[in-house]
Structure 1
Amino acid sequence: MATLGTGGKHETTEWEDILREKGVIPEKTEEEILEEQLGDFVEEVAQTYDPHAKKTVEELDEDLDDADSEEERILQKYRDARINELKANSLKPRFGPGLKHISADEWKEEVTNSRADAYVVVLLLQDGIESCTLMRQNLLALSTKFVHTKFLTCKATDAIKNYPDSKLPTVLVYKEGKVLANFVGLEKFRGLRTDADDVEWELGRVGAVESDMDERPHSEDKSFNLRRV
């Protein structure tokens, strides 16, 4: 609550709050709260939006041709950073697109002794299980998007003797031969409605993919995490 007379554009003043407590003016409706929250969201995006962040080197070169000296200095900085990023990516191992199916005999080479600078995502599955097919499709999509992550599949009972179908699909995330995360079944996601975005979010949280998501997809609350402040 703002100090009397100093309320910001979307804040209430102490006087307004007193009037509401006494019933002189009505409480804010959900629509009014939504409008304020939406306004705050738009304002925040406008303040943090960077029009150059995702531009290619070619696009930055075009901007440089039309820039004045100050703009040129800024754009040159972005261009140099983008080139350095491209150089760094060119040195990373490339595995995708596609899922590689491995046997138990290949596990040590492909997973345990895999490159230290690469994340390995392994899907344990069995044929004929709908949830396994779904997860395989989602990981296949991600293997195209994140080619520097190694995506593998392995028959569950080959990897772990007598591994129960009730725990499938199971997704394991490895780095430097160690398990960083495991996702058993689809409970961590959205059940049989799970899509590639859901999986990307969870893999991004553990660093297995370089996701640019900043919030969980398919949140039940679609109104920008509405809450009264």
Structure 2
Amino acid sequence: MGNWKPREFGPTNEEIFESNLEYAEQQNDFERKKLETLNQMAEDDPDLEEDDVFEEYRKKRLEELKVQSSRPRFGSLLEIGRPDFEVQVTRAPKDVIVLIHLYQDHIPESVILNRLLTEIAPRHPYVKFIKIVANKCIENYLDIDVPGLLFYKNGDLLDKIIPAAPVFGGKHMTKDTVEFVLAMKLIIDMEFDEDPRIKLKQFNMSTKKKAGKKNEDESDSDENEDREYTNTQMFRYKH
């Protein structure tokens, strides 16, 4: 009858859900942005300066940048000898991961991996990349375990991949397959949508099938054994 003020209704559950969803999406969007991108966004939209979420992530990026600027940087594949191991590996800067490639020049996979690591090292300057002739680092090191990778941190053996060639894709290994495995091992900070070794494996199988058509009499048993070996070895260290 007009004796009471109209009731003020609060937001519905659906409106609350939509608001929370929008907030979460905004957080995810800011989280993926680098500091320079966030600064540019603030220039384009001054209202963002009043956004607590935006400012929180911009401050977070600034702090991360300060931490990164104080970390040791490397950016190349360093050749060392056994006498250098103590200084270059055991006494490496605190919390720095040292990747050691045990190689031999007469093993093709070692030569390929050295070339790829030379390309990869500048992309990950906070990891110390080192190479050393295998039997000069570890006495009586077997050629069947070359190439091999050792990972050290704070003077301790953190992890290893021995032998490494089958894990990376053998003679067909690429920069992507090597970086993927290193990322899975948490040696480098990278994200992949899928395992690049899957496409490499499919390519290898396709190549073998084509070769098999030319040598049907002798290839069937060899192909089955080789495929089984590839499946076992390439994905041995996937997780």
User: How far did 1:215 drift?
Assistant: 4.1
- Structure number with greater CO (CA < 8 Å, separation at least 6) is 1
Q: Distance in 1 between matches of 2:69 and 2:156?
A: 25
Find out whether 1:58 has 2:36 as its counterpart: yes
Query: Which residue is 1:104 aligned to?
Result: 82
How many residue pairs end up in the alignment?
175
Q: For residue 165 of structure 2, give the secondary structure of its aligned residue in structure 1.
A: coil
TM-score normalised by length of structure 1: 0.68
The percent of aligned pairs where both chains have the same amino acid is 29
Q: Distance in 2 between matches of 1:87 and 1:61?
A: 16
Determine which structure has more spread, i.e. the larger CA radius of gyration.
2
Structure with a larger share of its residues in helix: 2
Q: Distance in 2 between matches of 1:156 and 1:88?
A: 35
Q: Which runs of 5+ in 2 are unaligned?
A: 1-24, 203-239
Superposed, which structure 2 residues align to 1:117-132 within 5 Å?
A: 117-132=95-110
User: For each residue in 1:111-150, what CA deviation from the matched residue of structure 2 results, as whole angstroms up to 9, or x when unmatched?
Assistant: 1222231000000111132101111122122211110100
CA contact (8 A) 1:189 1:198 kept: yes
Q: Which runs of 5+ in 1 are unaligned?
A: 1-46, 223-229
Q: For residue 149 of structure 2, give the secondary structure of its aligned residue in structure 1.
A: strand
CA contact (8 A) 2:182 2:188 kept: yes
Query: Which residue is 1:76 aligned to?
Result: 55
User: For each residue in 1:2-26, what CA deviation from the matched residue of structure 2 results, as whole angstroms up to 9, or x when unmatched?
Assistant: xxxxxxxxxxxxxxxxxxxxxxxxx
Q: Distance in 1 between matches of 2:49 and 2:81?
A: 58
CA contact (8 A) 1:138 1:195 kept: yes
Superposed, which structure 2 residues align to 1:20-31 within 5 Å?
A: none
Find out whether 1:207 has 2:186 as its counterpart: yes
Superposed, which structure 2 residues align to 1:186-225 within 5 Å?
A: 186-213=165-192, 215-220=194-199
TM-score normalised by length of structure 2: 0.65
User: For each residue in 1:206-226, what CA deviation from the matched residue of structure 2 results, as whole angstroms up to 9, or x when unmatched?
Assistant: 32212233542243599xxxx
Q: Distance in 2 between matches of 1:162 and 1:68?
A: 67
Q: Distance in 2 between matches of 1:76 and 1:121?
A: 37
Cα RMSD (Å): 2.6
